[in-house]
């Protein structure tokens, strides 16, 4: 129910009614009745990918924000659907954004599958240089990013 919970949190934080969210979805060309928005929040209606993208636009967040639980710190353990164990919030977020590897997939293969080629070139260039990837360091304390158990961004070759 992470997505339903995040939907409720964002709607209440932004002081939006079900009708207001519905109206914004309508403006985006994704008509959704206020009752359907409420049912999504309550976990009584599935949220498909189109819903997810439109809702992220309504709330002004990245789609991944609706997929992952909010956590007070990067090292907070979080449960992610499909994962075989809890992981740190930071690990979950970088994996969901296609920046960090999870699940035993070889690093180069993960980057090849997870991102468009132009993004892989940026990431691979920084990894080859031994540095951290600039776009993931913004907003995180450097010490969390240097812990290889949290994010392994170094090339082993």
Q: Where do the domains of the chain lie, and which CATH numbers do they carry? A: 2-67 (1.10.260.40), 77-146 (no CATH)
**Residue 119's pLDDT band (cuts 50, 70, 90):** low
Q: Span 85-98, mean pLDDT?
A: 88
- Look at residue 45 in the predicted model and tell me its pLDDT: 96
Q: Given a cut of 80, is residue 134 above it in pLDDT?
A: no
Q: Span 77-93, mean pLDDT?
A: 88
What is the full DSSP assignment across the chain? -HHHHHHHHHHHHTT--HHHHHHHHHHTT----HHHHHHHHHTSS---HHHHHHHHHHHTS-HHHHHS---SSTT-EE--TT-SS-EEHHHHHHHHTTSS--SS--HHHHHHHHS-HHHHHHHHHHHHTTSPPHHHHTTS-HHHHH-TTT-------
State pLDDT tens for residues 12-40: 999 999 999 999 999 999 999 999 999 99
């Amino acid at each position: 129910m992470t997505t339903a919970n995040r939907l409720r949190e964002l709607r209440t934080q932004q002081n939006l009614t079900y009708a207001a969210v519905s109206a914004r979805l309508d403006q985006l060309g994704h008509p959704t009745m206020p009752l359907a928005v409420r049912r999504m929040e309550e976990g009584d209606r599935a949220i498909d990918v189109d819903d997810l993208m439109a809702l992220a636009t309504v709330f002004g967040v990245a789609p991944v924000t609706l997929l992952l639980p909010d956590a007070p710190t990067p090292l907070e353990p979080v449960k992610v659907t499909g994962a075989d164990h809890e992981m740190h919030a930071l690990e979950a977020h970088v994996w969901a954004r296609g920046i960090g590897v999870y699940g035993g997939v070889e690093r180069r293969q993960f980057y090849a599958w997870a991102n468009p080629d132009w993004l892989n070139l940026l990431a691979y260039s920084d990894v080859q240089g031994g540095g951290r990837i600039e776009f993931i360091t913004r907003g995180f304390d450097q010490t969390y990013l240097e812990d290889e158990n949290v994010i392994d961004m170094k090339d082993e070759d």
